[in-house]
Structure 1
Amino acid sequence: MNPNNQPTVVIDTIPQTLADLERDTWKQLVSAPTRKKGAGFKTLTLATRSDEGADARTVVLRQADEVQKRIWFHTDRRAVKVIQLQAHPQATLLFWDDARQIQLRLVVRTTIHISDDVADEQWQQLWVGGRKTYLSEQQPGSEQPGPYPGFPERLGEDLPGQEESEAGRINFAVVECQALSMDYLHLSRAGQTRARFTYHGDETTMQWLAP
């Protein structure tokens, strides 16, 4: 329904306004963590900066909130990206949905949760398989004399017990990302669609862009 006769674009056979695109995109982000492995938006590239320059790596989307425009992912508190985000809290998140051919670039302001209720709550929701790497005795990125699996080698392919997994809590951190803006790009033979959404508190500025 388009009561104000706003410009629309057809995505997946459905005419959509800017507001429709923004709403649908956040719903996709919210549902991504529960979809099957390999689904669009389930992982993302986190781009940070440091005194040495730019840096990037893939992380797993753990939660999204379409009302607050927030995204969360987990990391080891000893990781270099934590140091980078503490020094430079603004970052870029890059998402790709191969099935729908949609790219998202979110500029975000980050907050790192380590010893607070947010980290405690998400740790309790994390199953033992997800906790396994937080049992690592070694700092991520540290030099080793040989290959290191990222968890105690004695575990091998086994999972830690629930009680044993609790020892990883000290290394666990949650990164909360408050979206400042989102650049949306949909690729199609019929034509590309690009738009920008900028967030100012409870208000959202929407604008079509040339691809």
Structure 2
Amino acid sequence: MPAPETSNYPGLSLTLPTLEQKSWQQLVTVLDNSSGETTAPGFKTMTVASRTATGADARTVVLRKVDADRKYVWFHTDVRAAKVMQFEAFPDCTLLFWDEKSQVQLRLTVETRLHTDDYVADEHWQTIGAGNRKNYLSEYRPGSEQPAPYPGFPAHLGAGLPSAEESEAGRANFAVIECRVLAMDYLQLNRSGQVRALFQYEPESKMVWLAP
């Protein structure tokens, strides 16, 4: 009988601590622009799924900061957006990342905290440029009905950028959502076999393999 082929199942070469560290490092790496890549890395954006009084809601946001040691991530939003009220009523939510290149999905269970008029929001505001600040200059609440298409900022700005002085007007609408990660669910798709694991941080710490 011919000898069986050697399995190339990726799960056989992994350990849970290594996989957990690798997952956090991938989140950290997408915020490093030193590579000069012109395309956004896979985990640069995420889907935020939150609870509402009548069901659930979801939207895509940009990852802004990661603390792999303390298990925190942050993103920005307009303080007038509906999701801010959702987070205040129901602080727990899910962050869903997908990287097409590596075929990896990360699902983070988090507890959110809103920052508006404090040093955390001030520090984040100082890190964003005029292009991002422009998005917080809207005269209207996000999601409000309009009589015609509205660009999300004063029409006179057009394709241009606001001056440093003009951009400061957006600070009043700027909010930071801090997410304390309670658990991370890792899934990698592979023709040779899927790999799934759970890394739980609170209320108790544990690492376990899961069936995909």
What TM-score do the two structures reach when normalised by structure 2?
0.91
In structure 2, the partner of 1:4 is none
**What is the match of residue 53 of structure 1?**
55
What is the aligned-residue RMSD (CA, Å)?
Answer: 1.4
Tell me the residue number matched to 1:88.
90
Structure 2 partner of 1:121: 123
Question: SS of the counterpart of 1:33?
Answer: coil
Q: For 1:121 and 1:96, locate their aligned partners in 2 and report how far apart those are by CA, in whole Å.
A: 28
Match for residue 143 of structure 1 among 142, 145, 169: 145
After superposition, give the CA deviation of every residue in 1:139-183 in whole Å (9 maximum; x if it has no partner). Answer: 000000000000111101000011110000000000000000111
Contact 2:47–2:60 (8 Å) recurs in 1:
yes
Q: Which runs of 5+ in 2 are unaligned?
A: 1-8
**Bigger strand fraction:** 1
2:4: which partner in 1?
Answer: none
Say which SS state the counterpart of residue 163 (structure 1) adopts.
helix
Unaligned runs of 5+ in 1: 1-8
Paired letter, 1:21: L
Indicate the structure whose relative CO is greater, using CA pairs within 8 Å and at least 6 residues apart: 2
Matched residues in 1 for 2:72 and 2:108: separation? 10
Moved over 3 A (4+): none
Q: Which one has a bigger Cα radius of gyration?
A: 2
State the match for 1:5 in structure 2: none
What SS class does the counterpart of residue 49 from structure 2 fall into? strand
**1:10 aligns to what?**
10
Q: 2:79 aligns with which of 77, 80, 88?
A: 77
Asked if structure 1 preserves the Cα contact closer than 8 Å seen for 2:71 and 2:180, the reply is: yes
Q: Distance in 2 between matches of 1:59 and 1:171?
A: 16
Q: Summarize deviations over 1:86-135 as a string: whole Å, max 9, x none.
A: 00000000000100000011100000000000000000111000100101
Partner of 2:186: 184
1:59-108 per-residue CA deviation (whole Å, 9 max, x = no partner) reads 00001111010000000000000000000000000000100000011100
Q: In structure 1, the residue corresponding to 2:144 is in which secondary structure?
A: coil
